[in-house]
Structure 1
Amino acid sequence: MKHENPHAGLVGSPTPAEFEDLSDAVEERRLREELGFGTLAEAAELYRPDPACPECGEGGARRDGASASGLQRWRCRACGTRFTSPTGTVLENCKKPLATWVSFIRPALFAAPLDACAEACRISHQTARGWRHRLFAAVEGYQDRIVLRGRVWVDEIYVDDVGLSKGGRPRRRGLSRDKLCIAVGIDARKEPVAVVCGHGKPSTARIRAALGGHVAEGATLVHDRERAHGVLVRENSLEDESYKADVRDPAYLEAMELVNNLCSWLKRYLWRFTGMDPENMQSYLDLYVYFFRVKRDDERWPKIARVVRHLVMTEARFRSST
């Protein structure tokens, strides 16, 4: 016997506008039960209870009412500037409810195409593109503080620079200067690093700039005998463990498995964004590393709550011209 939903009448009688309000209320409750907050105002109260003034940087602002959407308003005691809790973050001036943002974040965590993200949360492609750039702004410089320790594996991957291959110019084979080099590192704790390293085969100076600050002194560097890696060994006082790159050698494949897997996943990730502006490559890599760590630590820190907290707390302005 078919079970009748006793709440069916609640969704059958409202007008379209009332139904939208009801849907928003349902999503807010769903988020509240999953994450502990259902609206941006609630998330800001939890993670940004005493925001600094976006103009002068002073703390200790006094509460000054609330906006129409329920966001706390503040007034700076030092300069008198009025602002709301998300001011100075990438969520500033974002009109959509938090539930829509969460619907966007879920597929973005797994590198879903932009159209799929837009479809999942019922926003336009243009809005979804803007939101992706908001994410870029929130994780800009995120990798700067990551330091690899203990056993550290490094390698490089190469991707076509679409900017150089436009205009009918034929693509060159091999490691030509038409290819962007990405320096990749990972340690035994599965801390990843991925940094754009110029074009073509990397030089000593480029490897130093890309990875020099990411490897702790005294670590063991495991690599494929790329000559440029020597600068890391010398200048960071590393133990050197190298293997000749030969896919037929089981010892090489076993020793480099961790970084080779990371390189493979990075390539798959980047292939999903065909036609990206090469100038945004580092932003895509920063976002990949951020999401990698978020998913890695999901059991300890639920990933959606962690991403929302980052967006609410990180002081970063979204630049629409990006």
Structure 2
Amino acid sequence: MSSVERTVPAAALASALSETAGAIETLLEALLQDKPEAGEVYRPARLLAAMRHGALAGGKRLRPFLVVETAKFFGVPVGQALRAGAAVELAHCYSLVHDDLPAMDDDDTRRGRPTVHKAYDEATAILAGDGLLTLAFDVIADPNTHPDGQTRAAVILQLARSLGPGGMVGGQMLDLAAEGRFAADGALARLSEAEIRQMQAMKTGALLAGSVLIGARLGQADASQTAALERYGKALGAAFQIADDILDVEASPEQMGKATAKDDAKGKATLVTALGLDAAKRERDRLSEEAITALAGFGPEAAMLRAAAEFTAQRKS
């Protein structure tokens, strides 16, 4: 594989991420307007304001970027890919709003500003998260996202499986159990390395891998292409979570836009605690390389996805 096929300059990746993030931001603003859509009765202003607070706070928009870049392989019109990416981002933002709640991680800041339950109130935050998740499926089900109903159904199924009891929500449940939430004595669970990897593959990795696969479903990829992209997405998701755990140890709150050192304070099970910091960094880098290798059957069109895998390992926020 040539160096051109392997990756692109960091500046080019940053530019592509920024361009997609800007397009997603514009689309989210339109989707989160106060004016009701056809078939809706009324949109409460406070609810929509809270939903916008949770979804329009900036960020890298990595998940929609993965949707858009993967869909490009298969000639999917950019407008359709952006709509699917916006749906993924709505679902991701729902998870952040709910994760920040007092009953979950109890965070006061997110992306450098108050979390939704702090800016509004807990009940509004719950409903805002519910609204964001429901709107995600609304966007995908709309024929504007893809004219073929079977393709839309495949994308809906992929997103549901990534988010549901066998994906992100199930992973969050395992995480809470590991904190001792459901133990009679409140004792932390002692998870094995394999159990930590399973939990992280569900809580974080499932939606990252699902974003890649949604791009593939939109493009009606064949079985071998889908399998390769699934390997890429799973390795990328695992590398992303380890990088996040490392940043929780090494980065400042200013870099991250939220509180750090939380995992250690809560005694959370991570691969940093299981392997040690240096070994965790080596595993992060190995997984990044595994993701890149999974794309060996693709040519220059996969350069941005390869660069995204390198970025995941090297990111500082």
TM tier, smaller: under 0.3
Larger relative contact order, structure 1 or 2 (CA cutoff 8 Å, min sep 6): 2
TM-score (norm: length of structure 1): 0.24
Higher strand share: 1
Q: Answer with 1 or 2: which has the greater Rg.
A: 1
TM-score (norm: length of structure 2): 0.25
Higher helix share: 2
